[in-house]
Structure 1
């Protein structure tokens, strides 16, 4: 009862090299330089506007010998940051991921794929 209240933790902004970002900078500029915030010895990454896919679609007639095309829309990144992969649906007992049969925006369906289900997947490059 009585006594001083414990001091509030003092967070620090750190850049990618681990150096402290100057406290004299305006908040917006300091956050642009910071990669982590340190609170009571724990470093937490700062993620501002993480990349996100907003739309991934395939167009065309899914028939052997016909092309399927795809579009990808994203926020805070570029479509080129993703690799588009076409997968043949997994058969019973195979990997549930499916088999990658083509990489790229346009896929011409070969005759031997007639009647099989296909999946379009976008994977981040790098």
Structure 2
């Protein structure tokens, strides 16, 4: 299996919403760090589990960030799941050929003419 492209992977989590949330968190924390002269923190947690007996995984992605404030800090966390296919090209949001495993030729409802 080829290595998964991390940029594409992050862009696909939660149909692109996670990417926007990460961008917002990075900017907010960086701005608060500069404004208040204190450390901030952005943590991304990814957990994977197989979906049934398929070639799919459920990716639980969590974004947890802390912005420093003048007298303390402000914290937010967001967590959702995104199903992905495990393919020869790495983790993909959609399978290359999603209907390939649905039917076998011998199970076809129409019998070929001879």
TM-score, scaled relative to structure 1: 0.29
Give the structure with the higher percent helix: 2
TM-score by length of 2: 0.31
Of structures 1 and 2, the larger Rg is shown by 1
